[in-house]
Structure 1
Amino acid sequence: MEQTITANRSAETDNASKEFKVKAAFFLAGVSGISAIAGFGMTVASAKKHDPKYFNRGMVPTREVPESGANLAMRALGWGTLYAVTGCGILFYSIWKLSGAQNFAEFRYKMGNLLPEIPKNCPPQGRTEFSGLNDLLDYLQHQRGSKDK
């Protein structure tokens, strides 16, 4: 009987935790999206206010400028994306092939042996909680000063 109650409680907490994580992810995505759109809009408005003649000139193709700024930017974004994806893909694929791994577990094992080990900090040797930014900066300055001596 106690095991079923415990199992039900743990299932409820898991569901609540997952629901909270989903809500948090939506919140962060919304805040990020809104801030990106607001930043872009303010930048465009600032550019238009700064020099409206040249701003309007780049919006519509003319004889002097055969391509609008938006088309040029989209073309540049497309080429930049192609170069970035291709370059990173070649780099990652070459590292994979040079390692000689056949699957991800083997690749992870080989890279774990090749790269230096990160030391464990358990239990933590220094302070881990600070009352504010000033407290953190004072602590870091004190730690740096004690290492210089």
Structure 2
Amino acid sequence: MDQTITANTSTDNVDPSKEFKVKAAFFLAGVSGISAVIGFGMTVASSKKQDPKYFNKGMMPTRELPESGANLAMRALGWGTLYAVTGCGILFYSIWKLSGAHNFVEFRHKMGSILPNVPRNNPPQGRTEFSGLNDLLDYLQHQKGSKDK
């Protein structure tokens, strides 16, 4: 008696390209978040290494400095984030409304008709493989020299 067990997974109904896009978005968000944290940490560490006396002085509020540097930086980061998100949101929403689109597909078609078309390079007209950066730069310099003549 041969019994086969089939597992009903939740990914059976999901389009593979959609699943890939979700995984790619999580990956990019993770990489950018980690790089931002590492960059901020390295900046703080290098400033502490350069001048530890004034770095520690800015950590605690004193009579001369009524607000610590960390509090000032956090307040500035909060306001900057608010301004950036609000400004970009208003810009993008106004572009959406000015286009008159009702969904993303319609918006894409309207923007495609307004913006210039990017010409396809199929088949490629020049070299596409380079052994290194020097080879690429030599090729670009040669191409520029042949166009000037």
The residue aligned with 2:3 is: none
Q: Please say which of residues 43-52 and 106-115 is displaced more in the overlay.
A: 43-52
Scaled by the length of structure 2, what TM-score is found?
A: 0.74
Deviations 1:85-136 (A, max 9, x none): 0000010011111111111111111000000001111000000000111100
Q: Percent identity?
A: 78
The residue aligned with 1:102 is: 102
The residue aligned with 1:113 is: 113
Instruction: Classify the secondary structure of the residue corresponding to 1:144.
Output: helix
The residue aligned with 1:124 is: 124
Instruction: Classify the secondary structure of the residue corresponding to 2:147.
Output: helix
Residue 46 of structure 1 deviates from its aligned partner by 3.1
The amino acid of 2:75's aligned partner reads R
RMSD (Å), alpha carbons: 2.5
Gaps of 5+ in 1: 1-13
The residue aligned with 2:57 is: 57
The residue aligned with 1:73 is: 73
Structure with greater proportional helix content: 1
Tell me how far apart the structure 2 counterparts of residues 35 and 88 of structure 1 sit (CA, whole Å): 20
Residue 67 of structure 1 deviates from its aligned partner by 1.1
Gaps of 5+ in 2: 1-15
Aligned length: 126
